[in-house]
Amino acid sequence: STPVKDILNIGISPKKLIETARKRFEDMGGTVYEKVSLESISISEDFHHTNNNNNNNNNNNHDDNDNDNNNLAVLECRKTKINNNNSSQGTPPEQHHDMMVQLKSRLVIDAMGSGSPIAGQARGGVKPDGVCLVVGGSMATEEFKDLNGGGGDLIYTMNGAMEIPTLATDQEYAFTKSSPRHTKIPNKTSEIQLFWEAFPSSSGASYRTTYMFAYMDTQTERPSLQRLFQEYWRLLPEYQNLSNSIEELVDQGKITPKRFLYAVFPTYTDSPIQYPKNWHRLVSVGDASGIQSPLSFGGFGALLRHMPRTIPAIEDALKHDYLDHSSLKGLNPYLPNLASTWMMQTSMSAPVPVVAPSSSSSKSLSLPLLLSSPYKSLFPKASLVFGGEEGEEEYNEYLIPNILARTFEQMLLLDGGKGESLKPFLQDVVQPKGLLGGLLGVMITSPSIVPKILQHVGPNPIIKWVGDVAAMVTYAAINTFTKTNEAKNKVSSWFKTEPVRFRVRQTLDAIKYGSGGDFNDH
């Protein structure tokens, strides 16, 4: 087996991160408004340049300043003050007093995540093209100590696609000591491919964090988060080789739940987001921009990865007042490597039309791939394990695990098992070598699976994917000559005006990031 280092090797405390970022922001003169909700943003459809400090002169008059203020983005916010007046009779109910606060800004940066109302309005309220549903959390039991020392999982399947009902209620679902398995319920069902992830928790050696997730579209036949959570509790003992059901272990005091969560990560094919042409002074970052891979759990990693690109661009935009739509749209450009992952997301989603699964027992195929852990001393390896056996391609429910198993296996073999081609892909930085090399290897070694992939994915996603991959290869070729800052500055210097040079720099950054050329920069 060959370890791939530096995958899931860091944990971040949101509380400490926010505290540190806030302190730095306030030390630099920033102001944080607490208990304030954003009600609306008003931005003039006609963009006019403001008089920044570099252009002010003695001829500026009061009318100029009024025009500047009228052209700024205006944020209407609602600030809530809570009064809790004590009295001898006791503490009365809290009294809420709302007041409106108006803020003005040259540039609004939307970092409100995938649920951003700005992004929702820009997309016209359309449904996501896909979602990743995640359930799971952290718990402690003595049975985890051996597991934490022996490894963890980046992506794991122990079953093929499973029929899971859409809804679950107390009457529809039986989860008792005598009947830990779910009962058939009289509502819609759809096939879902479940994936697992597990790694040690920073809380201690007996704690372990496990997540169950699935990729799917947003049709009504898909299961609810509540339903997925019930599958999580039912299947977790099998996944982690626990001695009893979770309910029995909790009743016996042998397991201590700590923290559990659920999330829906929506994804759109038209990502990163592009605002309407009359939306000026507005740029989005992180999940709100759709810059994250449709295969990932949100875009915090993507937000950090793109900071070396977006921060200098925003500084330039503010310095030179390039805050109109046509200038800012280059901060969230078309990225072919990001777009190409959509076919992977589609291939990892079981279709809605229900195909009755075979009666074959669930088995597992363990690839010769070990991945490193967040805590190297406690977690020296993590494995990619997929349900299914060699020769089981005829079973429809094992199609997705087989596709992944063969693709990752071929990516690993590209560089003699060192994992140098696989590692970028696992970190959401898709590069031509890893993607094309892995898929070409699958076509050569497992030709019988190719028609099944074509049938499973469909012609339209494949046609689009071919175009995205062709663009990624083109970007990679250009990036060979323009990847350094020196080369980028030299190319931009060929153009006479600063606005054009600004857009050229954004284009070259898009070429670099859109081909995965930024991987070695981090």
Residues 135-172 have pLDDT tens digits of 999 888 877 766 655 567 888 888 888 877 776 554 44
- Beta-strand (E) ranges in 256-388? 256-267, 282-284, 364-371, 382-387
Q: Please give the model's pTM, rounded to 2 decimal places.
A: 0.80
At 200-212, the pLDDT tens digits run 777 777 788 899 9
The pLDDT mean for the chain works out to 79
Residue matched to tokens 């992977």: 344
- Residue with structure tokens 């959401």? 428
pLDDT in the model for residue 161: 81
d(CA 403, CA 393): 9
| 93 Cβ neighbours under 8 A, 6+ residues apart | none
- Work out the burial of residue 267: count CB atoms within 10 Å of its CB; fewer than 13 is exposed, 13-18 middle, 19 or more buried: buried
Whether 348 and 215 have beta carbons less than 8 Å apart is answered as: yes
- Residue-wise pLDDT for 366-398, tens only, equals 333 333 333 222 223 334 444 444 443 343 677
Which DSSP letter does residue 66 get? Answer: H
**Residues 244/246/247/251 CA torsion (nearest 10 deg):** 80
d(CA 399, CA 331): 38
For the segment 305-330, the average pLDDT, to the nearest whole number, is 94
Are 332 and 274 within 8 A, CB to CB?
A: yes
Identify the DSSP state of 238: H
Fill in the amino acid letter for 124. Answer: G
What local confidence, expressed as pLDDT, does residue 379 receive?
28
pLDDT at 9 over 50: yes
Structure tokens at 465: 């994917």
Strands 95-105 and 152-156: unpaired
429-451 confidence digits (pLDDT tens):
899 999 998 889 888 988 888 88
Lowest mean pLDDT among 16-25, 200-209, 476-485, 506-515: 200-209
Least confident of 61-70, 208-217, 405-414: 61-70
Is pLDDT above 50 for 284? yes
